[in-house]
Structure formats: structure tokens, C-alpha cells
Amino acid sequence: MSIGLHSRRAAARTTLNWESEPGLFVEGTGSYTWRGNVTLNRDAYYDGERLVMSNEVAMPDVVDYTFRVGYWKHGLYLPVSFTRQITAGGHDIRRQDSPFVSNRMNFSRVDVVAAYYPKSPRFVFRAGVSHILGGRNVGKSSWRTKFYYFNPRPSQLDPSIKTRIGLPNFPSYVSGHSSFSAAAAAVLAHLFPGSASSFEAMRDEAAISRLYAAIHYRSDIEAGKDCGRRGGGYTVAFARQDGAD
């Protein structure tokens, strides 16, 4: 058992940008991500509609796009953007069941940002608000936190930092991998208390990998794990209400 999808991925992204002399701009970016099959440690699984007698799970591909308009001149950056992610297939998390690797993860989000970049590159003044218009099977708490604080990635503040993987196109704080891994570890430790230490070790390994990849700060990881532990704790508390424990 492991935390993570273990699916090989390949992605292509296109970005178009137009700017006018007064500082107005329009930008659009979109990507398509191909995902390889996942091998389970069991010989059959239920995909939401039928029993599949195989340990190979076909992963749905993912499409995401963002449209952004705004003003950027004299150090003032005022964008408004709409982002959508669509999973090309998969099923919803079933009621009273655990998430599955091929569940669809869709969301639509609007972001408004006001930022000022003074001549000194050491300081940036930024404020923003994000609203998730809709979504299916996504972690709303970590995403709301990301777009509330809107912290830049390490390499965005220090260009000498080279990432080990592609730079995600959303804010740094908190770490989503850390949040999801901690939530999963909390729930799994409740279901299988004898393996709690193993789940916690996998949680920490998944979280620290984001630091090794140079796309997160330590504070992102620790806050993300705390967010996930709280979310997992709420899930366990809710599950206990039916008396099945």
C-alpha cells in the first residue's frame, strides 16, 4: 500500500499572451496531461459501476485551462482569472467508500489578485481572494489556503533555484501533497491501527519530497500536514457517528 497515484504522466501546455501599451493584458493557458495505468496490489477492484477482474487501472487524462485579464504596469499587477480542471473520465468517490486512484477531480475557480512590485526586488505586496465555483472530489481547504495567501514558489523569489520537476502553476502555501497525504494517513491509521507508524512514515516521505523537488518551503509542508491531519480527523469523527466502530 502506498500514498500517491504511481502513474507515469506526460503533459503538453500552450500559452497565449497579448499586452497593450497602457498595461492591459489578456492571457490564456491550457494543458493536456496523459496518465499511464496504475497497478494495484490486488487482483480485482470496483470502479464505481462494475467489478473489474484485473490489477491494472486505466487512469483518465486531465485537461486544465486558465483565462486571465488584467493590468500590469509601473509595478502594479491586477489580474482576474478563471481556472478549470476537467478529468476525462473516472467516477465520483462513492458514498461510504474510500477514494480510488481513478476518481474524477474537477473544479472551477475564480481568482482576483492585487500586487505591487516595488523597485527593490526583496519585497512584494500582494493580496488576493479565491472562490471555488464548483468541484468534485477535490481538497477545498488546501486550495482555499493557497489562494488566500498566494505565496510564490521558491524559484519565483530566487531564480538560481532550479526545480527537479515542472513548476506548478498555483501558489505554494500550503503543500497539497502534504495535506492529502496527511489526511489519508490519518484515516488509514484509524482503519488499520497496527500499521499507523507505516502510514505516518509514508505521509512524511510524500511531504518532504516537495522540498527535495525545490517547489515548496518547509513551512508549506508542515502547515499542509497539519491541514491534512485536521481533515482526516474530521472524517474519522464523522465516521464514528454511525456506531460502526
24 and 115 part of one domain: yes
133 and 19 part of one domain: yes
Residue 154 placed within a domain: no
41 and 83 part of one domain: yes
Report how far apart, in Å, the C-alpha atoms of 135 and of each of 61, 84, 119, 132, 185 are.
17, 9, 39, 7, 23
Alpha-carbon dihedral angle through residues 212, 217, 223, 229, given to the nearest 10 degrees: -10
Residue 161 placed within a domain: no
Q: Is the pLDDT of residue 97 over 60?
A: no
Q: Is the pLDDT of residue 103 over 60?
A: yes
pLDDT mean over 49-72: 90
How many domains would you assign to the chain? 2
Q: Per-residue pLDDT tens for 11-29?
A: 999 999 999 988 899 999 9
Q: Where do the H-state alpha helices sit in 96-171? A: 140-149, 154-157
Q: Which pLDDT score is estimated for 99?
A: 60
227 and 186 part of one domain: yes
The set of cell numbers assigned to 131 is 472562490
Q: Is the peptide bond before 63 cis (omega within 30 degrees of 0)?
A: no
Residue 87 placed within a domain: yes
Cell 491586477 belongs to 78
> At residue 134, what are phi and psi to the nearest 5 degrees?
-175, 160
Residue 155 placed within a domain: no
Which amino acid is it at 80? V
Residue 157 placed within a domain: no
Percentage, residues of the chain above pLDDT 90: 34
Q: Which pLDDT score is estimated for 90?
A: 83
25 and 126 part of one domain: yes
- Beta strands of 117-164 (E only): which ranges? 125-136
Rounded (5°) CA angle 33-140-134? 75
61 and 182 part of one domain: no
Q: Is the pLDDT of residue 98 over 60?
A: no
Which amino acid is it at 152? P
| Nearest alpha-carbon partner for 27 in 70, 62, 63 | 70
118 and 179 part of one domain: no
Q: Which residue has the higher pLDDT, 96 or 232?
A: 232
198 and 124 part of one domain: no
pLDDT mean over 134-154: 73
Q: Which pLDDT score is estimated for 1?
A: 31
First to last CA, the chain: 23
23 and 134 part of one domain: yes
117 and 189 part of one domain: no
Cell 493584458 belongs to 25
Cell 472524517 belongs to 235
Query: Which residues contact residue 171 at a Cβ distance below 8 angstroms, ignoring those fewer than 6 apart?
Result: 146, 147, 149, 150, 151, 152, 153
Residue 150 placed within a domain: no
pLDDT mean over 155-184: 84
The whole domain housing 28 covers: 1-138
Cell 533555484 belongs to 161
Three-class DSSP category at 244? coil
Residue 209 placed within a domain: yes
The set of cell numbers assigned to 155 is 524559484
Q: Which residue has the higher pLDDT, 115 or 133?
A: 115
pLDDT mean over 201-228: 92
pLDDT mean over 77-98: 81
Q: Per-residue pLDDT tens for 26-37?
A: 999 999 999 899
Residue 40 placed within a domain: yes
183 and 131 part of one domain: no
Q: Which pLDDT score is estimated for 44?
A: 84
130 and 62 part of one domain: yes
Q: Which residue has the higher pLDDT, 90 or 192?
A: 192
Of the listed ranges 39-43, 65-69, 136-140, the least confidently predicted one is 136-140
